[in-house]
Structure 1
């Protein structure tokens, strides 16, 4: 039986521990707490760490009500809220529910079994700790692990897999790699801030799923020659002063100061495997009960984008926020 009385739980022993304090993790903690269980969250960064690292001027593609968690309205004067509005909203929700969030503690190892898990952590200063829980919810997202190109020069300090702000790249030669939303947004903002932008994509054009208000903008900038574009092209090497491209006409070296490799991200499959979670199929779908979200490892539940494996375009805040309710119902059933 799960202990549903906070007074019976030790300071570091909980009914449920949520690994990952993004919007889905927060939603899970809220629903589990509402169901009467003791719960804490642990995250290697801050609350909504991935969202914090989104571009500073980012606007969501969705409406405020589809980002709401815990039954708390998301007030916004904009039809599509900004990153900063979302961060404020999730902070206020966490404070409203008095969630126990252990920020800046990286999970190093998970031991034990259903009913008696021990989670070993390490803080920013290398100090180790341990949290114990009867059940675990893993909601670690995918934004922290970029898909690497594995080419010479990718580790140079001029190469970034995240885009934040265009200001530092004024009057610089910048290459943006990729053909989806993040690439288009980065290229447009950099160009509008005075960078000389070259976009490189391995396919024949911008991806068909680029948002309808962004796609014509980037395509018109390319058509007008304001942003240079190389399609059906791969980056094969990055040097201190140039980028080497493999085009249909052969190799081409172009002058370059900075590179934004917007090549996508993937879940931490190694971490899940270390806990015994199994995967199936080429998309590495974790073995998971579709109704309860309990993995093949008894007592370990999965939530958010990691449920879809490498198909990271299937689960977002809008639908992942409901995973907490599914898990809470499963725990009550036990």
Structure 2
């Protein structure tokens, strides 16, 4: 039975960074990824631009050259290029089903095989499970929790839920391809966290009436040809609709974390870990990247979680 020093779940930017750090320190490691390399980035909107500058997205001090704020394709080229150049040990299109521990060794069961490792890092991000609204009609085919590009929505009546970066990008892009766009927003204004070069654009489009926005409002039902929402005055309204883009955010796989033995705390289901070592309540089981934040998915991103790799590997070596 081959026993790895380290098994990393997830080949996102932080998972790759963990592998690079393990490789530099001569640890026998393997990454297991359910999709392609940086799978979440692959599923981002095609024309998405990062808030961070290129230097803030770099891993292992490998330069990320970009004339402006990098987009999805540049990031894919950068991270997948590193995986090729460094010949990282990655198994792709293999889903981890279960992590269990027998004495000091972890058994990792996947869709294809079983692996054994002294240490495990979970770096799975949060992009796989939509934060559902739990309203009637949400399961209709016209409801999309992932947005990739505007072209399918030309000349359609679109409802966009939310006022985050993803909501604003979807609203502006579909509007500019000829969609009739209505935004339904729980809050009283566009999110202050929206990219600073985009926020004036959406606010001006709303002000001039090109995009309709209902603030302090809530979608309560989705029908085949319409949606029903409650406005700021408590009035129930029904409008014609072809597609709903439910940009309501995403969540980590809490069941997977819990079944791996990790304690989840509070209303936000924050997974327990030692902030100095990134080790969870399960010895030698670590968290890295966005998954550390539980429902608070805005707390961690590439820019501020790159340091997790070095912290974890140094803690492993210290043992």
Mark yes or no: TM-score above 0.5.
yes
Once residues 297 and 329 of structure 1 are traced to their aligned partners in structure 2, the CA distance between those partners, rounded to angstroms, is 18
State which drifts further: 247-256 or 180-189.
247-256
Report the alpha carbon displacement of residue 281 of structure 1 after superposing the two structures with TM.
2.5
Gapped runs of 5+ residues in structure 1? 1-8, 123-127
Mapping of 1:164-203 within 5 angstroms? 164-203=148-187
Mapping of 1:275-294 within 5 angstroms? 275-294=260-279
Once residues 212 and 113 of structure 1 are traced to their aligned partners in structure 2, the CA distance between those partners, rounded to angstroms, is 50
Once residues 121 and 74 of structure 1 are traced to their aligned partners in structure 2, the CA distance between those partners, rounded to angstroms, is 33
Mapping of 1:151-166 within 5 angstroms? 151-166=135-150
* Aligned counterpart in structure 1 of residue 212 of structure 2, from 224, 228, 253: 228
Report the alpha carbon displacement of residue 250 of structure 1 after superposing the two structures with TM.
1.4
SS in 2 for 1:206: coil
Partner of 1:100: 89
Q: 1:70–1:93: 8 Å Cα contact kept in structure 2?
A: no
Partner of 2:9: 19
* Aligned counterpart in structure 1 of residue 246 of structure 2, from 244, 261, 264: 261
Partner of 1:308: 293
Partner of 1:47: 37
Report the alpha carbon displacement of residue 299 of structure 1 after superposing the two structures with TM.
1.2
Partner of 1:136: 120
Once residues 303 and 275 of structure 2 are traced to their aligned partners in structure 1, the CA distance between those partners, rounded to angstroms, is 17
Report the alpha carbon displacement of residue 249 of structure 1 after superposing the two structures with TM.
4.7
State which drifts further: 211-220 or 112-121.
112-121
Report the alpha carbon displacement of residue 114 of structure 1 after superposing the two structures with TM.
6.0
SS in 1 for 2:56: helix
Q: How many residues matched?
A: 318
Once residues 118 and 139 of structure 1 are traced to their aligned partners in structure 2, the CA distance between those partners, rounded to angstroms, is 17
Once residues 191 and 175 of structure 1 are traced to their aligned partners in structure 2, the CA distance between those partners, rounded to angstroms, is 11
Instruction: Provide the TM-score with structure 2 as the length reference.
Output: 0.97
User: Are 2:235 and 1:250 equivalent residues in the alignment?
Assistant: yes
> Alpha carbon RMSD of aligned pairs, Å?
1.2
Gapped runs of 5+ residues in structure 2? none
Q: Deviations over 1:25-64 (max 9, x none)?
A: 0001111111110111011111111110100011111111
Q: 1:179–1:207: 8 Å Cα contact kept in structure 2?
A: yes
Report the alpha carbon displacement of residue 282 of structure 1 after superposing the two structures with TM.
2.5
Once residues 114 and 312 of structure 1 are traced to their aligned partners in structure 2, the CA distance between those partners, rounded to angstroms, is 33
Partner of 1:121: 110
Once residues 44 and 212 of structure 1 are traced to their aligned partners in structure 2, the CA distance between those partners, rounded to angstroms, is 34
